[in-house]
Copies of this chain bind each other. A is one copy, B any other.
Amino acid sequence: MGSTFGHVFRITTWGESHGGAVGVVIDGCPPRLELSEAESQREFDRRRPGQSRLTTQRREADQVQILSGVFEGKTLGTPICLLVWNQDAISSPYADFQRIYRPSHADYTYQAKYGIRNWQGGGRASARETVGRVAAGAVAKKLLQTLAGTQVLAYVRQVHTIVAEVDPETVTPEAVEANAVRCPDPEAAAAMFARIDQARRELDSLGGVIECVARGVPPGWGEPVFDKLEADLAKGMLSIPATKGFEVGSGFAGATMTGSQHNDAFYSEGGRIRTRTNYSGGIQGGISNGEMIFLRVAFKPTATIARAQETVDEEGQPVTLAAHGRHDPCVLPRAVPVVEAMAALVLADHLLRQRGQCGG
């Protein structure tokens, strides 16, 4: 259970990292939206490994296929199924893990929950699962752009202790894609690149923070109580593998401010109600206020490291997980499109919810 996300614009992902395929069904996408496989493919390509020596060397000649819901280049209003085959289904590297619980992976919890697990790769806990999210996110982004002129953009804000300087109001997709780290601050990006390379050599991994902005969200999206815009965003972000924290607007720093500092004063600008500051992060009472929405997501360092580690097997016997060659020392550049996708999915859902209930 729990493989469905969204209320009106609703996605269901499926697929393990090995065996068969991974994919997503989008239900509730409005009709007559122009859509091609190329759009999902582009986002998909951004999240796949092998883009530079920063990321895992595994090659995936993946191709996104649209199996339903699109006709003559336009959405039909019916479910859109997007699929990518698992071509790299070599399970042998995982055979060693068959009865071993890798530290801070989901091996143990899956076994405890289900009494069975697909030990070939991480099963549903693998980053491979996010393929479906990214493919669906591309559709959500297209929808947001088309119906509301809303743009969603994410980028790496922090790797380990290196924090980039980025102006969220003006940052562009081109600046994000300009380097392999997906950090639009070139200087910080270079330092991050070096730090990640060092981690690789040390057979270790690094965490960091991804920031995401949504520009052009009109006032009125989000629901008052449980389905507050920030609540759904928080859920979406914390559902991404390896995330440990979420902030919107002032975030944890806001906890150390006073009300007179933090309150965003209203003013009027050309007939539009604006706020002079934006500590609220574009959301007040769970509902968008027309200002830029921005949020940050904390990622722990990847659990897969190349060093030997102490752990136990299924019988609880101590074993050493052997050192091995390849690993992805920092998942953040590849996670950028996933964060973007989740933000876009939440916003597209609330766009349609608002239109249904309030006719907006």
Contact = CB atoms under 8 A, between A and B. Distances in A.
Contact of A244 (B208, B235, B251): B251
Given A16-B76, A22-B68, A114-B31, A265 B311 contact: yes
Interface stretch (A44-52, A101-109, A174-182, A183-191): A101-109
B226 A5 contact: yes
Contacts of A31: 113-116, 358
Interface in A4-32: 4-5, 7-8, 10, 12-16, 19-23, 25, 27-28, 30-32
B244 A249 contact: yes
B115 A32 contact: yes
B207 A254 contact: yes
Given A235-B232, A238-B246, A14 B265 contact: no
A241 interface: yes
Given A10-B1, A77-B358, A118-B71, A300 B208 contact: no
Contact of A219 (B108, B222, B256): B108
A147 to B, nearest CB: 8
A223 B2 contact: yes
A164 to B, nearest CB: 13
Contacts of A22: 68
A54 to B, nearest CB: 15
Interface string A219-246: 1111111111011111111110101111
A246 B234 contact: yes
Contact of A108 (B10, B250, B289): B289
A133 to B, nearest CB: 9
Given A312-B267, A316-B268, A28 B301 contact: no
A212 interface: no
A138 B101 CA distance: 34
Contacts of A280: 104
8 contacts: A3-B78, A12-B12, A13-B226, A16-B76, A114-B358, A234-B237, A238-B248, A245-B254
